[in-house]
Amino acid sequence: MRLLGAVLAGGRSSRFGSDKALAVMPDGRTLIEHAVTAIAPHVETVVVCGRSVEGLTGLTDRPAPDMGPLGGLNAALHHARSAGYDAVLTTGCDMPVYPAALAEALTGKNAGVLKGQQLAGFWPAMLADELDAHLAADNNRSIYGWLERIGARVVERPDIVLPNINRPKDLENLALPRSG
């Protein structure tokens, strides 16, 4: 199965107070660099949705900016379908780890997300037109409405705990697992 990795990075960071994707971690790398590095081993290629990042393919949210995470996901689904990928594995720019167990748990035939971390998801590329229709409909464009519409799996894995950075204090308290 050909998997495209997509880092959803078009948010406003309103709770963080500044662009959290560019927040620098203790090792000197940004949150978005960590997110790209974390998802890369599980996919063929990584794209960034909602912004440009030097050295990576950046996708403009679709159908327009400020659509929330679904605008980035929609761009990734259309890119995946046109480039011959079977599905998209997603993460948020504020999620600096993506364990192999998570990628394995999410990947399947049907769309699925990690319970409590809806940006960590698996999305078959064939959902591109369905997401177009969802975004064109009169709804609040929440990811929860989209999950309900497509009957997505919610993967419960209490053994997988992902740090999620929403406020500067979350970054200060972050302890990343050591690799190796």
- Binding site residues for Mg(2+), as ranges? 94
DSSP for 136-162, written as a single string = HSSS---HHHHHHHHT-EEE--TT---
Binding site, annotated residues for GTP: 8-10, 66, 94
CB atoms within 10 A of CB 62: 22
- Interatomic CA distance for residues 169 and 39, integer angstroms: 24
- Interatomic CA distance for residues 72 and 11, integer angstroms: 9
Mapped onto helix, strand or coil, the DSSP state of residue 175 is: coil
> How crowded is the C-beta side of 92, counted as CA atoms within 13 Å?
21
- Cα-trace Rg, the chain: 15
Binding site, annotated residues: 8-10, 66, 94
CA–CA distance from 106 to each of 102, 149, 154, 158, 163 (Å)? 6, 18, 9, 14, 17
